[in-house]
Amino acid sequence: MPRESKADKAARVRTILALLKTHYPHADCSLDYQTPWQLLVATILAAQCTDERVNKVTPDLFQAYPSTSAFAEADPEELRQAIRSTGFFRNKAKNIMGAARTIEDDHDGDVPADMDTLLALPGVARKTANVVLGTAFGRNDGIVVDTHVTRLSNRLKLTSHKSNQGDKIEKDLMALIPRNDWTFFAHALVHHGRDICTARTPDCDACPLAPHCPSAGKA
């Protein structure tokens, strides 16, 4: 296959983005939340866990702990048991309580809406910060790189970096996708990755992106 020029790749990306907007016009975060804090907690819980499982845990969790102060003052063992089914529950409980305390002590109980301050919270790496900023605050400061975005970006040849190089994948995508579409693009790829371009058996015959995907019929 001949090397794709920058102009050709840019045109292909525009087409892919247009198709995603047509097929997933309302693509949004699949985690259930009502406030930025709830989204932050849900995103921490979603590490190495499905969004579906998190959404089963959070209704009772947010009823038991209705505020950052409630989480900050929680009994650690009770919180661990409440989130046990999401996996890695000890570390997640520690990070959630630490983030809650920092938000209460340093930010008047409000989740900060800038990247550097979010990254200073316990348990918050760039992926989590991107979710909160893009989804809860409408700020396109980066692109969420999860397993679906990694897989599809590689299949679409938008990056050559692998799952342990999320920061490099993000930089590649940020250079290709218009900034106003960063949050939408990640959400749309997640939906597409779950519905059609699955890990084991991608349905290339049903994929609207197939004519523009170098991996179509080969993945």
Residue in 127, 172, 203, 205 annotated catalytic: 127
Tell me if residue 56 is catalytic.
no
Q: What letters, b where the CB count within 10 A reaches 16 and e where it falls short, cover 147-180?
A: ebbbbbbbbbebbebeeeebeebbbbbbebbeee
Tell me if residue 127 is catalytic.
yes
Residue in 51, 141, 146, 172 annotated catalytic: 146
CA distance 58 to 46: 11
Q: Which residues have a catalytic role annotated?
A: 127, 146
